[in-house]
Each structure stands twice: as structure tokens, then as C-alpha cells.
Amino acid sequence: LIPCGLDGVEITSVLKETGKHHSMNEVKKNLSHLLINRFPIQA
């Protein structure tokens, strides 16, 4: 696998980095929470 066409670039996984499996729903929930807090947008 060559990520984004970047030959010679290594990739990793959440499992490899944390040693734990994370469901996609868990990742989405946590990521959306972090983004909302980091980039507050007022309507």
C-alpha cells in the first residue's frame, strides 16, 4: 500500500499504535468531539 501516492512512506494503524482495537463508531464519536472543541463554529 502506497498512501496518497507517497512512495517510500510508511503507514501504521490505530491497533499498532495503541495495542487496542477501536470500532469505527468509537473513532467517529471521539474525533467529532475533538474537532468540535478544537474548531468551534458559531452559526
Where are the alpha helices (H) located in 1-43, listed in sequence order? Answer: 14-18, 24-38
For residue 40, give the C-alpha cell. 468551534
Q: Binning pLDDT at 50, 70 and 90, where does residue 1 land? A: low
What pLDDT digit, counting tens, does each position of 9-37 carry? Answer: 888 888 999 999 999 999 999 999 999 99
CB environment 23-34: b (16+ within 10 A), e (fewer): eeeeeeeeeeee
39 and 31 Cβ atoms separated by less than 8 Å: no
Tell me the domain boundaries of the chain.
3-38
pLDDT at 2: 73
